[in-house]
Amino acid sequence: MVAKKKTQRFDILISPAWRPMLRVLGVKPENAYAEVTGDEMHVRFGRLSHTFSVDAIETASIDDWPLWAGIGPRYVPGTVGFVGTFINTVLVKFSEPQTVRAVFPMRCNRLYLSLKEPQKFIAAVTKPVAAAMAA
């Protein structure tokens, strides 16, 4: 019998002030999340979704999302953001560039997410130091 992998779901935090604008883009609290299952991290933000390998994650940490970058699905060269507020943002850095498919393929080394439980998410996607050193 194959053991079923436990899925951990982390809701993207969306500020009430931005909900009407994001709803126009198809983003609602029920379809804005990151899920971690075994060695995969699936991120959904409205109609946009992508699955990443957890092994491709180099680091994940609390970071600031700049005001000039805005709210919503965002792309600047090298960075993708699924951001619903300017607080509780997590920066996920990848060991190699990832291709995110949206309207067009976007290459990124960094992914920003605004999360309700950023510390729990970071713990779910990062390997303990001792385990990483043993690998």
Tell me: the pLDDT tens digits for 86-132?
999 999 999 999 999 877 888 999 999 999 999 999 999 997 644 44
pLDDT tens, position by position, 45-86 = 999 999 999 999 999 999 999 999 999 999 999 999 999 999
Q: How far apart are CA 98 and CA 38, in angstroms?
A: 19
d(CA 90, CA 65): 9
Label residue 114 left, alpha or beta by phi (over 0 means left) and psi (-120 to 50 means alpha): beta
pTM, 2 dp: 0.90
Band of the pLDDT at 15, cuts 50, 70, 90? very high
Q: Of 72, 124, 59, nearest to 102 (Cα)? A: 72
pLDDT in tens, 29-40: 999 999 999 899
The architecture CATH gives domain 8-134: Roll (2.30)
Residue ranges of the domains in the chain?
8-134
